[in-house]
Structure 1
Amino acid sequence: MALSVEDVLQRAEAATGLTNWGTDQAFRVGLAELLGAAATANLPAMGSAALERQIVDLLSIRLRFVEDERLHPEIVAQTIDRPLILTGLPRTGTTILHDLCALDPAGRAPLEWESSRPWPAPEAATYTTDPRIAECQAEIDARLEAMPILRSMHPWGATLPADCLSFLSLSFVCTRFVASFYVPEYSHWLSVTKPEGVYRTHKRALQQLQWRGPQGRWILKEPQHLLDMEQLVGVYPDSCIVQTHRDPVRTIVSVASLIWTIQSMLRPDIDKKETGRLALELFGAHLERGTIARQDKAIDNRVIDIAYRDTVLNPVGTVERIYDHFNLPFSSEHADRIKHHIAENPQGKHGAHKYTPEEFGLDPATLKGLMPEYRHRFADLLEEPAR
């Protein structure tokens, strides 16, 4: 794959009939890094074609966003008020906690179908019948049929709350590309770089969804927010941030297993130990950079820390504690919805996700000595729940 930035821009222009890229050109930096990494990664033909399609689709959405705001300037005049933003490494309880917070009757979590297909803007009147729901679910079903083990690793569904990866993908600064495609140079770049403009695009995507769609306080979730909490808080200065915690020995190995499983769909010969090395570098950077960012009191004061064990052992009480901390109303209806959800979705419902550190070249003893800034500050939150 040896495409230039101009090559893919022209493809998106041809696909949409639009040529106005707007005033925010920051996305070109990540796009150039991704294309360069893909060119040297020797991706298989199927993987290369899939990445090209994804890039052109994302660029097409950017073009359509610019055209929408030209025709409807009120879109970008909207505010995003006090969003509740969950972050923390994968496997630390971010997904279940996001699901539980999203049960808030006054909340508004982005759903998988709309976050992956934000144009045209969703409409409140057709929000539950939009044809994109079925399209998205068909894609998910095909992926799960091809790789059933994914069911045990993560909940999947077109109408489930989505993380922020689709929004971050629009800036081409996103761990989704690392999870889906073997692009080690790009993964390293993410681990050491803080490109600007990422959260301007993130905010623009939220404005697109709330413009004509359902209203409510945004309830968001994404591990990658740890990589640049400075920019996150800069764009959302009144944000309510929740950081979840669990022993990195468990979380990073689990992330490596998930990445390897996804990548092996396109490249069965992918090396598990190389996957483990890349996961350690990138997600170790998540923890260290997030911890360093919180040395700034303006950021740290916006965060509440939640142990994985508390989410598992007392889900209602944990969500109530979060809401109390940020002075958000926690209703009895919300509590009842959480209890019902937990009863209907017990842990391990779709089987256990099994893996070992050794198969990914990761030594537990060595892992315990890494990420010193993080371990020093949050040691008391890393114990596993007693069962």
Structure 2
Amino acid sequence: MSAGSVKGEVFDITDMHAPVLTAMQKAALAGAAQASFDFSVQAILAAAHAQTGLSDFGSMDFAPRLELWCQCVKEDSFLSAVSHAALWTMFVRYASDRLRVEDICSRHPEILDIVIDRPIIVAGPPRSGTTHLLGLLSADQRLRSMPWWEAIAPVPTAADAPSADDPNPRWTRAAAGWEQQDAMMPLMKYMHEFSPDHISEDIELQALDFSSYLLEWLVLAPKWRDYYLSHDQSGTYAYLKKGLQVLTFLRGPNRWVIKCPQHMEQLPALRATFPDATYVITHRDPVASIRSTLSMWLYASRILRTKTDPEEPKGYWIDRYRILLERCVRDHHVLPAEQTVDVYFHQWIKNPDAILGEIYAKAGLPLDAETLATLHKYHADHDPSVKGRVVFNLERDFGITADDIRKDFEFYFNHFPVEREVK
């Protein structure tokens, strides 16, 4: 498998510290400032009830977590009006989708008997290539995956029924949302794409339980981080499984490929929930992943925050990666060797076919020539280097060097044979 000879455009975001806003960005911020939102559990659940006509949320043990999410939103004084509007919409969507999940399970209790058969689960540091690997494996049609249009509306409503004018209204809504985001932040697609067909992280299903590390990507939320890391996540992983069962009932089959970087720090809960899984753990120089995260946060700040301060992501995410990788080092032993593939970035870029062969062998799936050709085609069609890439400049944008970051991760390099990639 090779990347091909055509390379996409290279983008250098030179206004990171003093963003030059477009007319559309200014209009969006001004428009959002006209609205106000009640970030309370009562208001969000009432809005979800009004939207769905349903009232059974299942176990209400999520309510304290939602309350803390709301508190973190209110305490982050630098969230922009656009962020408030987006977060309100998101919280209500999660509550509404939870209502729909509970409703379909009450009408079809057999859903909870569906076996999620030997899933392939990808985990790795955020911004390290796990999304591409997930998409690559999902190209194998023997495996079930969750595209973005389905992730944001897992249970279709009557309004989502296909028609002659629109064969998939959920896809159409997802496409409209993606077009809006792309117009607002046109370089984001080179860092993290949310087009309707891209394969989503399973964190969207965990969010129906109002947990996971998702909120940390949207709000500066150390209070939530500390709560989440100190509480058992088994219940939220059980809700993830419930979501997969619902999606299997609606659209089959039951052999899944899923991924989320968060799984690296939740390996015991992951293992207990999916004991027959094949675990694919990717590893890369943390500096390569961290510089991408820092740059993505700072670029998005021009719309999502009222200030663009490089100290915000630098002060939060370097330490957050350390916690994630420390927990992976601590708990990796709970994964059975015969079910686990550790994928090292420097090996992947040289010989991905050998690694794919190991993944398929441990998953008990034949990797024949036809399947390999399908995977090769996906890689060629979705190669990030062809699509285009953003330049990440640690010293200019964050006043820090690769060595400054890497010194806090010697424990990781000592445990896993990860090559130092960023100079």
* TM-score with structure 2 setting the length: 0.82
Residue deviations 1:235-280, cap 9 Å, x none? Answer: 1111111000110111112112123333432225131221122111
**How many angstroms apart in 1 are the aligned matches of 2:82 and 2:107?**
38
Structure 1 equivalent of residue 351 of structure 2: 314
**How many angstroms apart in 2 are the aligned matches of 1:227 and 1:2?**
32
Structure 1 residues 360, 202: closer, same or farther in 2, change over 3 A? farther
Matched, 1:356 2:393: yes
Letter in 2 for 1:314: N
Cα deviation, residue 337, structure 1: 0.9
Structure 1 equivalent of residue 134 of structure 2: 98
Matched, 1:303 2:340: yes
**How many angstroms apart in 2 are the aligned matches of 1:333 and 1:61?**
38
Structure 1 residues 167, 382: closer, same or farther in 2, change over 3 A? farther
**How many angstroms apart in 1 are the aligned matches of 2:358 and 2:120?**
13
Residue deviations 1:202-228, cap 9 Å, x none? Answer: 111111111020315201111011121
Structure 2 equivalent of residue 341 of structure 1: 378
1:47-126 matched pairs, under 5 angstroms: 47-120=83-156
Cα deviation, residue 362, structure 1: 4.2
Q: Secondary structure at the match of 2:72?
A: helix
Q: Secondary structure at the match of 2:56?
A: coil
1:269-308 matched pairs, under 5 angstroms: 269-296=307-334, 298=335, 302-308=339-345
Matched, 1:27 2:65: no
Q: Secondary structure at the match of 1:86?
A: strand
**How many angstroms apart in 2 are the aligned matches of 1:146 and 1:206?**
32
Structure 1 equivalent of residue 200 of structure 2: 162
Q: Secondary structure at the match of 1:197?
A: helix
**How many angstroms apart in 2 are the aligned matches of 1:280 and 1:327?**
37
5+ residue gaps in structure 1?
none
Letter in 2 for 1:243: I
Structure 2 equivalent of residue 46 of structure 1: 82
Q: What do you get for the CA RMSD once the two structures are aligned?
A: 2.6
Range 238-247 or range 351-360, more displaced: 351-360
Residue of 121, 139, 152 corresponding to 2:190: 152
**How many angstroms apart in 1 are the aligned matches of 2:175 and 2:204?**
16
Cα deviation, residue 64, structure 1: 1.5
Structure 1 residues 2, 155: closer, same or farther in 2, change over 3 A? closer
**How many angstroms apart in 1 are the aligned matches of 2:90 and 2:340?**
34
Cα deviation, residue 170, structure 1: 1.3
Letter in 2 for 1:89: P
Letter in 2 for 1:153: M
Letter in 2 for 1:92: S
**How many angstroms apart in 1 are the aligned matches of 2:157 and 2:253?**
13
Cα deviation, residue 121, structure 1: 7.8
Mapped contact 1:121–1:212 kept (Cα < 8 A):
no
Letter in 2 for 1:215: P
How many residue pairs were aligned?
380
Mapped contact 1:180–1:262 kept (Cα < 8 A):
no
Letter in 2 for 1:26: D
Residue deviations 1:114-141, cap 9 Å, x none? Answer: 011102289xx97x94221111011111
Mapped contact 1:316–1:338 kept (Cα < 8 A):
no
Q: Which has the higher contact order (CA 8 A, sep 6+)?
A: 2
5+ residue gaps in structure 2?
1-36
Mapped contact 2:341–2:358 kept (Cα < 8 A):
no
Cα deviation, residue 191, structure 1: 5.0
1:203-222 matched pairs, under 5 angstroms: 203-222=241-260
**How many angstroms apart in 2 are the aligned matches of 1:162 and 1:15?**
24
Structure 1 residues 263, 80: closer, same or farther in 2, change over 3 A? farther
Cα deviation, residue 18, structure 1: 2.0
Structure 1 residues 55, 373: closer, same or farther in 2, change over 3 A? same
Max Rg structure: 2
